Structures are given as C-alpha cells and as structure tokens.
Structure 1
Amino acid sequence: MFIQTEPTPNPNALKFLPGRDVSSDPRDFVNRDEAAASPLAEALFELEGVTGIFFGYDYISVTRRPDGPDWPQMKAPILAVIMDHFVSGAPLMRDGTTSDNAATGEDSEIVIEIKQLLDSRVRPAVAQDGGDILFDAFNEETGVLTLRMRGACAGCPSSSATLKAGVEQMMKHYIPEVTSVEQVI
C-alpha cells in the first residue's frame, strides 16, 4: 500500500491519501473521547502531537499541535498507523456510532438551495485542502449564514478569508437572501 501526503493551507494539518475510499460520510474527531468511535482515529490520537483527525471521502487529514513535533518527525508514525489499519481490514468505525452530520427537521427552500450550493461547489474545493464545510444555520430575518469548518480547515489561518472572499461572495451571488457568512467555532 502506498500512501501519498499533501500539504494543506493550514501549516498544522497534513492530508494523507491512501489511494482508496476512506469514509462515505466525512467524520471529524477533535479529541481522544470522540476518537473512541473509530479504531483508526483512536490509534492516531495515541501519537505524540496529534490534536485532530478528519476522515474525508478518500483522504485523512491529521492536525498537529503547533508547539509539538514537526511534520518530518510525525509523518512516518502516522503513515504506519494508517497502513496498519487498512492492511488489517479493521472497520473504520465501531458498531453503533452515528454521524454528526445527520439531517434534522424540515428545511426551507432557501436552506435547501444553500445546502445544494455547498455540496456542489464549496465542499469539493474545501476537500482539496483537507477539510470540510458544513451548514450550521441560516437566519432568514438577518440573512446571516453560519457554517462549520472541519478537518484541516478548522483553525486554518486562511479559513476566514476563504469564507469571506470565496464562500460569502458565491452565496450572495446565487442566493441574494444571504447577506453575510460567519464561521461557528
């Protein structure tokens, strides 16, 4: 098995591409407790300096502690854990775990349009940088759209620029009811 790596705009996150599907439902793990839902995430959190794991469709983003070991020191152990997991045939998620990305309630027509635009235009671009972006809420009275950044995009120095210069302008163009886009932390 050959696993490639790619840098992300976030200097504290690195994207690992195992050359196979990883998760049909992207998952974010920001601490050891959440990682208990996945044998792979749990094993990665055992490594020194790891502070976040994100499973994309065909990649894994690992976030490191800014004051921890450098990537040259961390890369080989991370590659070994990922390779061992996939070679073993172990499941990505433990039985009984559910996604934090489940749809809830009835969406208005505007919210449906926002989610479609996010899925078709925004999420694929953000995934190239090792992250994901999720709809959080839309206030129809004020026009404020709130989004949640995950993976390499969470905590990235350029995420606010991505939201304002990219996502907000696109949303305003296609959905005039959107007046601004904010990130939920």
Structure 2
Amino acid sequence: MFIRTEDTPNPNSLKFLPDQPVLGPGELGMDFPTPGAAKISPLAAALFDVDGVVSVYLGADFVTVSKDQTVDWEPLKPALLGTIADFLAAGIPVVDQRASTAAEGVTSVEDYKGEDREVVEQIIELLDTRVRPAVAQDGGDIIFHRFEPGDGIVFLTMQGACAGCPSSTMTLKSGIENLLKHYVPEVQSVEAVA
C-alpha cells in the first residue's frame, strides 16, 4: 500500500493520504481529539497508541494526525505510516458502525423554521461547497453547530489539522466570517466552538 504525506498549515499536524478510501461512501469526517473519543474507531485508537499522538481526524480519503509539540516528526512518521498501512491492508472496519457519532450541541436544518431555516440552509450550503473542500485540502474539516438568529452568530468547530492551528483564528474570522457575511446578510459574526 502506498501512503503519501502532506504538510498542513499546522506544524503539529500531518496529512496521510493512502491509495484507498479511509471512510465508507457517505460517511462524514470524524474528529478524535482524545484517546477516549477514539473508542468508536479501531484505527484512531491504534494511532493513539503511538507515543506523541494527541489527536486524529479521519477524512473520506485521508487521515490527519496531530502530535505533541515536543515530539519530532522524524521518529513518529514511520510508526504512523506503518499503523495506517497495516490497518487498512487488514481490511478492519475503520469505525464501529453501531457507535453513535452525533456531536454535542450540533443542530440541523430541521431545528429551524421559516426565514431562519432559509438562512441556515444558505450557511450550510456555503460551508459545504466553498469552505469544507478548502479546509480538507489542509487536512481538516469544519462543522456547523448552530446559528443564533437574534445575534446573527454562527458557531463552528474546526477539526483535524485546523483545530489548534496557529492560522485557524484568521481562517475563521477573515475567511469564513467574511464569506458568510457577504452572501448571508443575517450573519454578523462567526465564533469557534471548542
């Protein structure tokens, strides 16, 4: 199995791109910010077993691993490549499908009515078509949590390499907030949810 790696804007995160899909068709990316969260993913749990790993993000066709800033990539990278290759070659399911992966505090379009629903549909459409592909290129993802119509605040979570990235605040405020405010006048600001 061939796995190439790509640097991300976050110096503590590295993107691994195997020559086969990581998640099944239609599965959304999954963020594992702690070893405890990885209980539903045998692959993520195996990656946390490598000393120095602090978080794992599984995308459709990539894996992003974030390391402790005191650990160097040189000894860590071969161990991670081996773990990913062995796991995918064995054909073990990446995620336990019986486990619930619903994120706490996340709302859906169905939670909104009337004009608020139309606004949320626009926000989600912009995130899905213009923002998520760009952050996936950098080894991460962005998740819509909720919109507060009275204040015009959109709450989002940065995942994968984007979580904790030094430039994530600029991406959130200068990039995503400006984009949403331009196309959706009801949006006044964008805030990160940890």
Say whether 1:52 aligns with 2:61: no
Residues 10-40 of structure 1 deviation map (CA, whole Å, 9 limit, x = unaligned): 0110000002211232101111111111111
Q: Which residue of 1 aligns with 2:19?
A: 19
Q: Which residue of 1 aligns with 2:2?
A: 2
Q: Which residue of 1 aligns with 2:141?
A: 132
> Displacement, 1:95?
4.0
TM-score, L = length of structure 2? 0.91
Q: 1 CA distance for matches of 2:122 and 2:47?
A: 37
3-12 or 103-112, which moves further after superposition? 103-112
The letter of the residue matching 2:54 is T
Q: Which residue of 1 aligns with 2:87?
A: 85
Q: Which residue of 1 aligns with 2:181?
A: 172
Q: 2 CA distance for matches of 1:139 and 1:32?
A: 32
> Displacement, 1:106?
2.6
The letter of the residue matching 2:147 is F
The letter of the residue matching 1:36 is K
Secondary structure in 1 aligned to 2:173? helix
Alpha carbons 1:54, 1:62 under 8 Å: kept: yes
Q: Which residue of 1 aligns with 2:43?
A: 40
Q: 1 CA distance for matches of 2:88 and 2:191?
A: 37
Alpha carbons 1:123, 1:132 under 8 Å: kept: yes
Q: 1 CA distance for matches of 2:60 and 2:111?
A: 26
Q: Which residue of 1 aligns with 2:193?
A: 184
Distance 1:155 1:35, change over 3 A: same
> Displacement, 1:103?
5.9
Q: 2 CA distance for matches of 1:103 and 1:137?
A: 5
Q: CA RMSD, aligned part only?
A: 1.3
Alpha carbons 1:25, 1:99 under 8 Å: kept: no
Flag structure 2 segments of 5+ consecutive residues without an equivalent.
none
Aligned residues: 184
Q: Which residue of 1 aligns with 2:34?
A: 31
TM-score, L = length of structure 1? 0.95
> Displacement, 1:133?
0.3
Alpha carbons 2:107, 2:145 under 8 Å: kept: no
Residues 120-170 of structure 1 deviation map (CA, whole Å, 9 limit, x = unaligned): 110000000000001111111111111111111000000000011110111
